[in-house]
Amino acid sequence: MGLSKEEINLRKDLRRAKKWNELHQEIEGVDHKLCNKCNDYHPSTDEYFYINKNNSIDGLYPYCKKSAILSSCENQKTNKERSYKQHEKYRKSEKYKKWGRKHGLEQRKSGYSLNYQRNNKDRVYFYAALHRIHDITSIEWNKCLLFFEYKCAYCGITQEENKRNCNQKLQKDHVDHEGYNDLRNAVPACRRCNSSKHQSGVLNWYSQQPFYCIDRFRKLTTWITIEYQKYLEIKKDYKIVKTRNKREYILYVLDEKRNLGNVLGIGKHRKELVILAEDIFNDNEYITKPTN
C-alpha cells in the first residue's frame, strides 16, 4: 500500500529540516549559511547570497555572491567563445546598455578610464578611429547639411545654437551604428543627441525622446532612402589605413559597389525603419521598398 499525501509531505519536511541543519548555523544570534564554494559561513540574507526561487529550503543559492562572481569570471576566461555567445542577447538588451552607461560613468569618476587610455593608447586609438571616421567628402556633407537646413535631424537645434552650447558644429551621426560609414547612413546631429543615441536603434531611441517630431522623422527617412543618392559620389577602390607607432590598422575597405546595386541598405535597422515609415505616413511616394 502506497504512502498517503500527509506521509509524503512529512518526509519532505524532514528532508528539508535535515538539509537546513547541515547548511545553517546560528552565530551571535544571527542565522548563517555555509557557502559550498569557499566553505565559510555568511549571514543568510540577499546581501551575501543571490535569491533562488527554486530552492525550497531557504530560497538562496548554495554559494555566496563573492564566490559566484569569481566562479563566473573564471568560466568566462576559460570558455571565452561559449561565454560570448551566451551573453550576446544580453549585450543587446536595454538593461545591459543602462548598466554600461552607469559603469562607464563610475570608471571615469574613479580615474580608471583615464589610466586605461594612457596605458593602452594603440587599442583606444584603433577603436575610436573605427567608429569616428566617416567616408564623406566636404561637398557631400554640405549637401546633407543643406537638406536638413543646418539643423539637428533629431531635435531640430540649429548649428549656431549648438556652437553656443557646445562650442562645436553639428556632428556626423550614424543612423545605424553598425551600418555604412558614408552618406547613406549619416545625418547631422547635435552633441546631446549624438551622445544620447550612442549605439541605440534610431526607432526605439527617437520615439522615447520629448522632442520627437513626426515631420523630422519623415525627413530623416526620406534622406536615408532616397535623397542621399543625389549627392553620393562614386569613389575608386581604396583602403582607409591609420598608422600609429609603426603599426598599420586597416579600418575598412571601400569600393565603388557600394554606390551600385543595393544602395539603400544601411544595416539591420534599415528594413524595420522603412516598414514603420510606411505605416506612419501611408505615403509610398517618399518611401522606397527595401531590396532583398
- Domain boundaries, given as residue ranges, for the chain: 14-72, 131-281
pLDDT tens digits for range 25-68: 888 889 999 998 898 999 988 889 999 888 888 889 888 999 98
CA distance 280 to 62: 52
CA atoms within 13 A on the CB side of 129: 16
Cell numbers representing residue 89 in the block: 542577447
CA distance 81 to 64: 26
CA distance 58 to 25: 13
CA distance 256 to 192: 34
Contact by Cβ (8 Å): 210, 276:
no
CA distance 119 to 239: 28
Give me the torsion for CA of 221, 172, 255, 127, rounded to 10°: -120
Q: What is the CATH code of the structural domain delimited by 14-72?
A: 3.30.60
Look at residue 259 in the predicted model and tell me its pLDDT: 31
Give the residue ranges of the chain where pLDDT is below 50.
236-242, 248-292
Look at residue 119 in the predicted model and tell me its pLDDT: 87
How many other CB atoms sit within 10 Å of the CB of residue 148?
19
CA distance 258 to 255: 6
CA distance 188 to 172: 5
Look at residue 128 in the predicted model and tell me its pLDDT: 59
Look at residue 219 in the predicted model and tell me its pLDDT: 92
Q: What are phi and psi of 200, to 5 degrees?
A: -70, 155
Look at residue 125 in the predicted model and tell me its pLDDT: 61
